[in-house]
A and B are shown apart, each in its own frame.
Chain A
């Protein structure tokens, strides 16, 4: 588990979704430059990390890359870095890109875990979300992955759309389960500033669902999927069994080292975190001039690391190590949270309950002693 993970940010999409605030461009003019830049960025970190046991191509929409680009990228990754033989190799895909040829290519390139951006199995919801595919495309895409022999498929779904009722959400979940996916990410729709939805909210054109409904969706989702045998291992993530959690994402929550390549990507190693410039242009420019495209970095103080460990740990079923709690006051508050049913102890771990998941961002605020910051 301590082996590092490698992330590559592919900042291109066919079109910008109105809710998404991840960094991506909806035009491909810089794609070639980006590819050259990422390859030269790999050179910077050659030999700096131990053998990786995960690769994660995220975005943006990595499946939007033309086949030859993707092939070149993977070849270069393997040329620069060592991977464990059983490494988890993930890629995020859009259902529209998942032709039989694409599925075969992914297989050939060695990907063994495919995430599909399904979001919903209802066309009106997909249309609201600005997606370029329909429910039929999604169903076809997942089937093709199975046909190509992928045995680790994850579906990304979104719930909590304004006006969405629970039945329709459960219907989407049910349709998703019919593929027996190894992994499900169920994200509550968050209206972020700077997105199209964010603007619509400011203009009063979009009404978020409100805390009580959010809570109901969250609890229903968790109960429904655990009832069907899934493991609710992180706030928004479910695995068919403990073997199918996303090893790569777990590195973020466990504070295991990772290297992020590409614009806006973050890296973490030995308590130091650094991040790349956000714009594709600026990123490419830096690497063309033989400069590291790093925009900023931080080294965490023990108090910051403490707060972060607790906060990240609380996002997962694994919780945090009880050794994080050091003083009388924190111990007292821990007892209080335990008695109120937000946390429980599991050996030397402090683990959030479902109620704890719901207020996972309040707990560290309450629990961590201010004096330590």
Chain B
């Protein structure tokens, strides 16, 4: 166990986390330089394109230091978004230390601080790494001072490196060995292994990634997942070397995988404890939480013929994403589809994008919403996460909506604009703390509905990227809610309805009408877009028709050109849905929530 180190890399976005991971992997000689590609741990196209990490990934790096001692370093790569904060917390719980990467020219930024706090919460050893020292704008002295003052870390300990150029990589590895403590725990105690990730392999079923805290397990053992209370026979255990490498046994302190005939990732809970059926642990590892969806939206195929294909795609997709929940749904406007629950908006976007790209689906997603609670006059309580299910207004006694405790960390100078933003989003009970001079942490109680859409983007904008944001769900609080409907040429489009705070209804209706006016192309006839509460029209916009659209000349040479143009325009129309006689583009169904035009 003395030879094992378990660590993670944390950083503000674009400070070079993935590049550093790449260099560490190359240094360990795990991959041929010719076969190497950037962001090697991020397997999904979507991760590479967006430069983000969605799923946790572990890799065991062999390392021999200058004294000739051999070590096994387990690097656990973590996602970097608040939607996946629970996964991140489980990955950090599997480590003894972290590399906190700071950009040599940008210095300490919001996410650096938030990450530091997350690491401190898990009592991890923190090694500051100043990256990108090759940049002409690098200012190592200033960054060292920020590490000292803003982060309260010993800047003398900071390692200077350039992951891009490959300098300082050995020093980083030496620091991991030297400063991060080896794991503790006894092989003789009952097995306790923390599940920090699970992914689906079409040939082997679910591959569980775990950190063993005590005991050990080997093929042939029967394991028990403590929360699910389900037993499986272990087929294979091993460690990750980019590809899986089977081992005879996984023991206390190690990070690796278990294959045991678990069919889908939904049968596994991240954060659950694996123990042995014959010799079980008395209690699970701490920190388990059941992850519940907080954002809901419906997915419909653009063409109703594609329902079965979408159904199959969701089933397959779900094999690899336990966090997604869904059930059948139907809409007058859009036909048959699925109501889905997501961890947050990034999660929603990822599901949408992967269904479209990896499964070839053409989708319409409806406006995301939270789960409301209504207490009816007959005493019954109903949960509503779909505006279609909004109860008859006369039967509602009390309406409640979920609240969060939002924590926002910013440099002091942005306090005014962030306060304004939070108050506009119905924030209450503000609290301020000053973790380090010049930096402020603002906490607010806010309706979840106010942050699910574009709050994070807005925060980034008003703080020029320096704002970090995290939240915890609090409770349900009484509210005054109404359902705002949208009518297109007099026809109610149920998929565009939203449940909104009454006071904001008119503003929201105008916004929705404005966005739809931008999104819906001109037709041959006038289109009226209206926002309504019950029978009351509260907003109205119109799209004027084509007055004239025909070219003067169409002879021999013009015909092919004209037809090709028509074909191109028609292809664009494929992503539209006919509602009555109006073609509504796919993008319009989500755009109604946006407060500003693109």
Contact = CB atoms under 8 A, between A and B. Distances in A.
Interface of A: 7, 58, 187-190, 211-212, 214-215, 218, 235-236, 249, 252-253, 258, 260, 264-268, 273, 275, 298, 304, 307-308, 311-312, 315, 333, 336-337, 340, 342, 357-366, 368, 370-371, 373
Contacts of B583: 366
B556 A361 contact: no
Given A359-B548, A359-B550, A364-B566, A336 B581 contact: yes
Contact of A236 (B524, B548, B553, B566): B553
B557 A275 contact: yes
A340 B551 contact: no
Contact of B550 (A7, A258, A298, A358): A358
A362 B560 contact: no
Nearest to B555: A252
Interface string B190-208: 0000000000000000000
Contact of B556 (A211, A260, A358): A260
B566 A249 contact: no
B303 interface: yes
B553 A312 contact: no
Q: 4 tightest CB-CB pairs across the interface, nearest first? A: A266-B556, A211-B547, A360-B550, A187-B552
B556 A265 contact: yes
A336 to B, nearest CB: 5
A7 B574 contact: no
5 contacts: A214-B548, A236-B552, A258-B556, A266-B559, A359-B549
Nearest to B562: A311
A273 B560 contact: yes
Contacts of B64: none
A340 B525 contact: yes
B556 A365 contact: no
Nearest to B571: A373
Contact of A362 (B549, B552, B574): B549
Nearest to A276: B557
B13 to A, nearest CB: 40
B563 interface: yes
A252 B548 contact: no
A364 B553 CA distance: 17
B559 A304 contact: no
A366 B32 CA distance: 55
Interface in B539-598: 546-557, 559-560, 562-563, 566-567, 569-571, 573-574, 581, 583
Contacts of A264: 557
A266 B581 contact: no
Given A252-B559, A311-B566, 17 more contacts: A253-B554, A266-B559, A267-B556, A304-B567, A307-B566, A308-B559, A315-B550, A315-B554, A333-B581, A357-B550, A359-B524, A359-B549, A360-B549, A365-B566, A366-B524, A370-B574, A373-B567
Contacts of A371: 303
A347 B525 CA distance: 26
Interface in B261-318: 303
Contacts of A189: 552
A77 to B, nearest CB: 17
Contacts of B525: 340
A332 to B, nearest CB: 9
Contacts, number: 108
Given A190-B552, A361-B550, A362-B549, A373 B570 contact: yes
Nearest to A329: B578
Contacts of A188: 552
Contacts of A236: 552-553
The CB with the most chain B CB atoms within 10 A, among A264, A275, A342, A370, is that of A370
Nearest to A234: B554
Contacts of A361: 549-551, 562, 566
Given A252-B556, A264-B557, A215 B563 contact: no
Contacts of A366: 523-524, 583
Contacts of A273: 559-560
A340 B549 CA distance: 16
B556 A359 contact: no
B572 to A, nearest CB: 9
A307 B554 contact: no
A314 to B, nearest CB: 9
Given A361-B549, A368-B570, A307 B563 contact: yes
Contacts of B563: 304, 307-308, 311
A7 B556 contact: yes
A361 B562 CA distance: 9
A215 B569 contact: no
Contact of B554 (A312, A359, A373): A312
A164 B559 CA distance: 29
The CB with the most chain A CB atoms within 10 A, among B524, B556, B574, is that of B556
B559 A358 contact: no
A215 B570 contact: no
B552 A235 contact: yes
Nearest to A255: B559
B554 A215 contact: no
B342 to A, nearest CB: 30
A359 B563 CA distance: 15
B547 A358 contact: yes
A37 B567 CA distance: 35
A315 to B, nearest CB: 6
Given A298-B560, A340-B525, A359-B546, A187 B553 contact: yes
B566 A214 contact: no
B554 A342 contact: no
Contact of B524 (A235, A275, A357, A363): A363
A363 B550 CA distance: 10
The CB with the most chain A CB atoms within 10 A, among B524, B525, B546, B571, is that of B524
A346 B554 CA distance: 24
B173 to A, nearest CB: 57
A257 B566 CA distance: 22
A342 B546 CA distance: 12
Nearest to A305: B563
A265 B559 CA distance: 12
A307 B570 contact: yes
Contacts of B562: 311, 361
Nearest to A355: B524
Nearest to A373: B570
A235 B548 CA distance: 12
A373 B303 CA distance: 14
Contacts of A215: 547-548
Contacts of B303: 371
Contacts of A258: 556
Contacts of A252: 554-556, 559
Contacts of A218: 548
A152 B581 CA distance: 45
B573 A365 contact: yes
B573 A212 contact: no
Contacts of A265: 556-557
Contacts of B553: 187, 190, 236
Interface string B524-548: 1100000000000000000000111
A304 to B, nearest CB: 7
Interface in B355-385: none
A211 B548 contact: yes
